[in-house]
Structure 1
Amino acid sequence: MNFKIWAAGCIISFFLLGISLAFISTSDRTASVSGTDDLYEEILAKKKDYEKKSENAAVDRVWKKTPGIKGKSVDVAASYKKMKKEGKFDPDLIVYKTVNPKVSLKDLPPSPIYRGHPDKDMVSFLINVSWGEEYIPEMIKTLTKYNVKATFFIDGAFAKQHKELVQMIQEEGHTIGSHGYLHKDMAAMSEQEASENLKQANDILFALTNEKVQWFAPPSGSFNNSTVQAADQLGMETILWTVDTIDWKQPTQEVLIERVMGKLHNGATILMHPTQVTADSLPALIERIKKDYRIGPLPVLLSEDR
C-alpha cells in the first residue's frame, strides 16, 4: 500500500474518532443537566423565587445620591449538581451568581448621600466630633464591646488638639471622616472657601492617620451646592443623616433610644455626638437595634453588597 495513502487514512480515522469521543462527552454532559430530569426541572421552575435583581445607583428626588445593590441569579447547573447527591430540591444547596449593577455611586454626579440602599437591613452610626472629648473613650469602649464599627466625622481643629483620640479611633478600626475646620457654616461659603476649609481639615487628618479622607459631614448639616462640589473635587462624598438622636439637647436615655427606634429603617444613618447621654445610652441602643438590623460602618452600608 502506498505509504502516503496509508498515513492519510490514519489521520482521517483519528480525526473521526476524536469527533465521536467529543460527541459522546458532550452528550453525557448534556444528559446530566437535561430538561428530562425532574430535579433539574424543579430547580428551573423555582429559581425565580430565590433570585433578586440588581439595582443601579441613582440620584433620588428626595434622598439624593443612593447606592445600588447587587443582584443574585441561580446557577441551575451548579445547583443541580449539589442537589443531585441528596436526590431532592434543597434551598440551602442553591448556588448563586452575583449580578453587579451597571451604575455605581462613583458614576453619579455630585450630590449628598443620606442613606444606604432601602433593601439593605443595615444601619450606620455617624458621630460628629468637634467637642465632647471626655466622652469619646467610653463610647469607643462600648463600640468595641459590641463589635460595632462607627464613622467619626472629626473637625480639623479638634483633631489638631486631640491627636491621641483620633489615633485611638483609628486603632479601633472605625472610619474617620471630615467635619470641616472650626465648625463653620458651609452654606455661607463659596466653592473656593469651602474647598480651602476642607483642605485644611484633610491635611490635619491625613497627617494623623496617613489615610485619604473620603467622607465629609457638613457642620450642623448646613451646606449648598458649592459645598458638595468642593467636596467632590477633593474626592469626598457629602454625608447627611436620616435619623437624628438630637443628643446635643441632652434628652433622657429613654427619649433618645425611642427617638432612634421609632424612625429606624433599612439603610438608616444615625447621627450622634459625644455627649454624656449618648455614652450612657449606647449599650442599650445597640442591643435594641441588633434585634432587627446589622450595624456597620458607612463604607459597608454604602457598598453594593447585600
Structure 2
Amino acid sequence: MRTTSPFRLAAMLACLAAVLAAGRYSPIGDYVQAVKNERSASIAFDEFGASDQRQLEEWIRTEASKLREPPVDAVIDRVWKAIPGYNGREVDIGATIAQAKAMGLKPGGNPQDFPWVFREVAPAVQLDELEPAPVYRGNPNKPMVGLMINVAWGDEYLPSILNTLRDEKTKATFFFDGSWLSKHLETAKGIVKEGHEASNHAYTHPKMSALGEARQRSEIARTEALLKDRLGVKNKWFAPPSGDYNGLTVRVASELGLRTVLWTLDTIDWKSPPPDSVVAKVAARAEPGTLILMHPTATTEQALKGIIRAVRAKGLEPGTVSDTLSSARAERRKP
C-alpha cells in the first residue's frame, strides 16, 4: 500500500485551508454568501406573510360575524297597516380581505376603524309582496323622513318651496290632483325636471269613500294617465284626498298598480298655523320612517327650511316617499 508522507499531507491541508478562506472572503465568497442570505430572507418573509395573512383572515371573519345586521321583513301591523321592510347588512369577506391586503393592514386594533366592505341583505318579504293595505309610515329602522306635498289648488307658493328644496339639496314627493295638473302641466314638468317625485292625488279631490267602484277607478286612472302620458312618470303611490278612503279605494288603487299612502305627521298647514309652531311640531315628533304631510301654503313656504333642518338635527335625512319607503339602507346623519 502506498502512503502519503507527512510533508505531502501538510501541504494538502494548507491548500484546502486556502481554498476555504478564499470561498469565505473573496469576491466569489461574497456572492455565494449574498445568495444564501437572500434566500434565507426570502424564506423568512414568505413564512411571516403567510402566517400574517391567515391571522388577518381569521380576525376579519371573527369580527364580521359581530357586525352582521339581519334584514327586517315587511309586515301588516294592527295599527300602522303596511310597514315596509328594511335591508340588513353583512361584511363582504372577500372584498374586505382584498382591501385590507392592498392597504397593508394587519389584524387587531379597533374594529370600528377598520375599512369594512359591506353588502346589503334584502328581507324575505318586501312591501309589494304584502296584501293591499295603506301605508302610514316607513320602517322605524330607516333614518329617513318622507316629505309629502299634496297639490290641489294654487301655485303661488310653489316657486319659493322649490327654491328651498333646491337650496337644502332635498327632494320631495308632490301628489298632484288631476284637475290641477291638467291646468299646470308646465309647472309640474319643472318640478319633475328638478328630480322630485310626482304621484297621484285623484282627479277632482273627492271624498273617495263616498264613491262607487267605477267612479273611484276613474278618479285614480285619469290622473295616472296624465302622470304617465304628459309627465313621463312611472308612479307607484296614491294619496287619497283628505286622507279619506275605504277598502274599495285600497283595492282599486292596487288593481291600477298603486299602493295607498297616507301620513304619519300632519302639519295642518291649510289652517295657517304659525310657521314656528309647525317647525316645533316636526322637531318634537319626527322619527325614522315618519311621513310629513304638507301643502303649497304660506305656512309651508315659511316653515319648510326649518322643517328640513329640524329633521336633520335629529340625525334623519328628508327625502321622497319612494326613498323613505324602500327597503334600501340609509346612513344615520350626523346632527
Task: Give the counterpart of 2:245 among 223, 227, 249.
Answer: 223
Partner of 1:24: none
Share of identical aligned residues, percent?
37
Change (3 A) 1:241 1:32: farther
Matches within 5 A, 1:56-205: 56-84=73-101, 85-89=104-108, 90-91=111-112, 92-205=114-227
Partner of 1:303: 326
Do residues 288 (structure 1) and 310 (structure 2) align? yes
- Tell me which structure has the larger Cα radius of gyration: 2
Where do 5+ consecutive residues of structure 2 fail to align?
1-45, 330-335
Work out the CA distance in 2 between the residues paired with 1:169 and 1:53.
37
**Residues 9-47 of structure 1 deviation map (CA, whole Å, 9 limit, x = unaligned):** xxxxxxxxxxxxxxxxxxx9xx9699x944433333322
Task: Give the counterpart of 1:247 among 253, 266, 269.
Answer: 269
**Worse overlay, 255-264 or 149-158:** 255-264
How far 1:293 sits from its partner (Å)?
Answer: 0.9
TM-score (norm 1): 0.84
**Residues 106-153 of structure 1 deviation map (CA, whole Å, 9 limit, x = unaligned):** 211111111111110011100011113111111011111111110000
The answer to whether the 8 A contact 2:282-2:311 is kept is: no
How far 1:86 sits from its partner (Å)?
Answer: 1.2
SS at 2:128 equivalent: helix
Work out the CA distance in 1 between the residues paired with 2:158 and 2:124.
40
Amino acid at match of 2:247: N
Change (3 A) 1:45 1:234: same
How far 1:53 sits from its partner (Å)?
Answer: 0.2
How far 1:77 sits from its partner (Å)?
Answer: 4.4
Where do 5+ consecutive residues of structure 1 fail to align?
1-27
Work out the CA distance in 2 between the residues paired with 1:167 and 1:279.
20
Work out the CA distance in 2 between the residues paired with 1:191 and 1:74.
49
Work out the CA distance in 2 between the residues paired with 1:105 and 1:191.
25
Change (3 A) 1:285 1:98: closer
Change (3 A) 1:186 1:47: same
How far 1:68 sits from its partner (Å)?
Answer: 1.0
Q: Quote the RMSD (CA, aligned, Å).
A: 2.1
The answer to whether the 8 A contact 2:82-2:136 is kept is: yes
Work out the CA distance in 2 between the residues paired with 1:241 and 1:33.
57
Work out the CA distance in 1 between the residues paired with 2:120 and 2:161.
37
Work out the CA distance in 2 between the residues paired with 1:155 and 1:98.
37
SS at 2:310 equivalent: helix
Partner of 2:67: 50
Work out the CA distance in 2 between the residues paired with 1:33 and 1:74.
23
**Worse overlay, 114-123 or 40-49:** 40-49
**Residues 152-192 of structure 1 deviation map (CA, whole Å, 9 limit, x = unaligned):** 00100111122222112111111001111111001112233
Work out the CA distance in 2 between the residues paired with 1:64 and 1:106.
13
Work out the CA distance in 2 between the residues paired with 1:219 and 1:114.
14
Work out the CA distance in 2 between the residues paired with 1:228 and 1:122.
25
Matches within 5 A, 1:3-18: none
Change (3 A) 1:33 1:43: farther
How far 1:94 sits from its partner (Å)?
Answer: 1.7
How far 1:261 sits from its partner (Å)?
Answer: 1.5
Partner of 1:208: 230
The answer to whether the 8 A contact 1:33-1:80 is kept is: no
May I ask how many residue pairs the two structures share in their alignment?
Answer: 276
Amino acid at match of 1:86: L
The answer to whether the 8 A contact 1:186-1:223 is kept is: yes
How far 1:214 sits from its partner (Å)?
Answer: 1.9
Work out the CA distance in 2 between the residues paired with 1:290 and 1:170.
24
Partner of 1:270: 292
